[in-house]
Amino acid sequence: MIRTFRAPGRVNLIGEHTDYNQGLVLPMALSQATFVESAPNPAESLYVYSEHYKESREWPLGAISQLEPARDWGDYVAGVARELVRGGYRIEPRRLFIRSTVPEGAGLSSSAALEISCALALAADQPVAPLDLAKLGQRAEVEFVGLPCGIMDQYVSVFGREGAALLIDCLNLERQYVALPSGVSILAVNSMVKHALAQSAYRKRTEECAEAARCLGVGSLREVSQSTFETAADAIPETARNRARHVIDENERVRRFSVSKDPVELGRLLIESHRSLRYLYEVSCAELDFLVDTALEIDGVHGARVTGGGFGGCTINLVREGCEARFTETVQSAYIRRFGISPAVYRCVAAAGAGEITSA
């Protein structure tokens, strides 16, 4: 029997680079998703085919617990397979066919969508608690793919809900659904670039935050309030101090964003977040700054900022309803004039989390 599993990408409204600091994040799952069709396999192997890459990978079932990364797309699948086996799950011989509507390298979490959809397909009838599923996907990424990421992307891909954003407290992994503001659209603009340093710079940021926490004598930056930070900040070397200031302020912005219904205030928080990511956290780039600056000049735009890890990928824009078409045209033509590439614009609609698709 062929079964189909789906896991969504995500856009993060606010709370950037806070998850691996045990902080607060506010993403929403997207209607763009990864779909995995799972069919029986006559051979004793796990076979996967990616429609995007037009390539396949195949691993003998007996070898899965010993797989090593190959540094390509197959690692996301191999990583979750290895984690499942190590966690005591049984993997049946299957053929997986993967297709996705989540743009890759755009900061909309195509990797978490791939991990979670494959984990669901591979676990099949063996129940995995939703939180364990998210943690398993994150472990695959940290330990197999090698990116020391937080849990935001996998968590929201599992727990997303239609019409709502998800306030995740990465300290205790509790969640709260937050209704989206009315009268505004959320639009993501894809810079169509992903700079090569994204991975190493991400790791570096995690180390700098850990250094700041050490200087402050705390386990994580989550333990530090804005006022405590101001009295102790001098003890931290400058770069780590800037990173920590971003994280601590960003947690506060997430708190304010989650309770505000005022599009003007929400927009202002996005703008502050971008400024902080640009100057203190230093994860923006010329293309993203241009997209944000251009957006902020357009009538009806409340706010804009980089979303996701940074160094390329998307900006997120809070746009008054009715102004979307003019926004899209203006941003696209300005970006083409400046960089010679047409940026894709996606309307972000909050969708449900991952699961099996059952045909009626």
Tokens for 158, please give them: 């599992």
Which of residues 27 and 343 has its CB atom nearest to ligand GLA in the complex? 27
> Is residue 234 annotated as part of the catalytic site, yes or no?
no
Q: Out of 23, 181, 309, 353, which residue is the one contacting ligand GLA (CB under 6 A)? A: 309
Q: Out of 8, 13, 16, 133, which residue is the one contacting ligand GLA (CB under 6 A)? A: 16
Only one of the segments 13-21, 84-92, 121-129, 270-278 lies at the binding site for ligand GLA (rule: CB under 6 A); that segment is 13-21
What one-character DSSP code corresponds to residue 161? B
User: Least distance (Å) from ligand GLA to the CB of residue 14?
Assistant: 10
User: Least distance (Å) from ligand GLA to the CB of residue 295?
Assistant: 20
Which of residues 128 and 283 has its CB atom nearest to ligand GLA in the complex? 283
Only one of the segments 15-23, 43-51, 224-232, 241-249 lies at the binding site for ligand GLA (rule: CB under 6 A); that segment is 15-23
User: Least distance (Å) from ligand GLA to the CB of residue 347?
Assistant: 21
What one-character DSSP code corresponds to residue 146? -
Burial of 270-301, coded b for 16+ CB within 10 Å and e otherwise, reads: bbbbbebbbebbbbbbebbebbbebbbebeeb
Name, in order, each residue with C-beta under 8 angstroms of 339's C-beta and a sequence gap of 6 or more: 287, 290
SS3 of residue 355 by DSSP: strand
What span, in angstroms and rounded, lies between the C-alpha atoms of 307 and 107?
A: 7
Q: List, as one string, the DSSP characters of 307-335.
A: -SS-SEEEEEEEEETT-HHHHHHHHHHHH
Q: What is the phi/psi pair of residue 185, to 5°? A: -110, 150
Q: Out of 5, 13, 14, 17, which residue is the one contacting ligand GLA (CB under 6 A)? A: 17
- Binding to ligand GLA in span 130-189, by CB under 6 A: 149-150, 152-153
Contact letters for ligand GLA, residues 318-347 (x by CB under 6 A)? ------------------------------
Burial of 228-244, coded b for 16+ CB within 10 Å and e otherwise, reads: ebeebbeebeeebbbbb
Contact letters for ligand GLA, residues 93-132 (x by CB under 6 A)? ----------------------------------------
Catalytic residue among 153, 169, 249, 289: 153
SS3 of residue 58 by DSSP: strand
- Binding to ligand GLA in span 226-265, by CB under 6 A: none
Contact letters for ligand GLA, residues 279-308 (x by CB under 6 A)? -----------------------------x
User: Least distance (Å) from ligand GLA to the CB of residue 237?
Assistant: 22
CB atoms closer than 10 angstroms to residue 170: 22
Tokens for 157, please give them: 């891909």
**Which residues are part of the catalytic machinery?**
153
Query: Which residues lie near ligand GLA (CB under 6 A)?
Result: 16-17, 19-20, 149-150, 152-153, 308-309
